[in-house]
Amino acid sequence: MADEHVVVEDPGNFPPPEDTVERLWAPQRMSYVLRDTEGHVDKPKAKECPFCAGPKKDDAEGLVAWRGTYVFAIMNLYPYNVGHMMVCPYRHVGLITELDDSELFEFEKATTLAMAVMGHVSHPDGYNIGINQGEAGGAGVATHLHQHIVPRWNGDSNFMPIVAQTRAMPILLDDQRRAYAAEFEKLAPSFGLPLRGTVSIDL
């Protein structure tokens, strides 16, 4: 028997699909330091947090561009745009509210340093900076806080999907990392940050 009270909503009233900002961040659901011990990039170690694993490796292998006392800067293996960096605390915490004052200060200060480094090396026209917190917030690695710093160029949205699929990226990535690392060394003191901090925890 037909139920006269059933109401079919007009699809036109449904929320619109993802807006521009949401689409921009979607690829970062893929995490990045996914190389296994043989150096393969396609077989992630499912159980190891990539943000804890990165700084345990040497800079080149771990894609680390700079090491502070409480936080570090690391390249994204699957960048949304060339030069995409992240700033992470060494401590495995998921939310910015879990950082203590020293960590929080260096986390934000290092974000401004990373942006300046990016500006000097890559000369972008703009930046996207942000944190996806929790799985519901879109974080690819929800259990370890990471701030995205993505350089943007006028018109880059036309080629970014192609760039993101490029297999040669890990090689270019190390060139980019080295260029950033050199610039971090130049600029860190003027931001009141160490060239290479004495890490505050046991990695």
The residues of the shown chain that bind Zn ion, judged by CB under 5 A, are: 49, 51-52, 92, 144
Taking the least distance from each CB to Zn ion, the nearer of 78 and 90 is 90
* Amino acid identity, position 88: C
In the bound complex, what is the minimum distance in angstroms from residue 168's beta carbon to Zn ion?
A: 28
In the bound complex, what is the minimum distance in angstroms from residue 88's beta carbon to Zn ion?
A: 8
For residues 161 and 27, what is the distance between their CA atoms, to the nearest angstrom? 9
Taking the least distance from each CB to Zn ion, the nearer of 195 and 203 is 203
Question: Which candidate in 40, 92, 120, 146 is catalytic?
Answer: 146
For residue 12, say whether it is annotated as part of any ligand binding site: no
Taking the least distance from each CB to Zn ion, the nearer of 53 and 179 is 53
Nearest residue by C-beta to Zn ion? 49
For residue 148, say whether it is annotated as part of any ligand binding site: yes
Has 146 been annotated as catalytic? yes
Angle ∠(173,126,151) on CA atoms, nearest 5: 10
For residue 139, say whether it is annotated as part of any ligand binding site: yes
Taking the least distance from each CB to Zn ion, the nearer of 144 and 177 is 144
> Kind and range of the H or E element at 35?
none
- Would you give the end-to-end CA distance of the chain in angstroms? 66
> Kind and range of the H or E element at 26?
none
For residue 138, say whether it is annotated as part of any ligand binding site: yes
For residues 98 and 161, what is the distance between their CA atoms, to the nearest angstrom? 34
132: DSSP letter:
-
For residue 76, say whether it is annotated as part of any ligand binding site: yes
In the bound complex, what is the minimum distance in angstroms from residue 41's beta carbon to Zn ion?
A: 19
> Kind and range of the H or E element at 179?
helix 169-187
In the bound complex, what is the minimum distance in angstroms from residue 45's beta carbon to Zn ion?
A: 12
Burial category of 116 from C-beta neighbours within 10 Å (exposed 0-12, middle 13-18, buried 19 and up): middle
Q: Which two tokens stand for residue 146?
A: 């990471």
- Three-state DSSP class for residue 64: strand
Binding residues: 76, 138-141, 148
Tell me which residues are annotated as active site. 146
Binding residues for substrate: 76, 138-141, 148
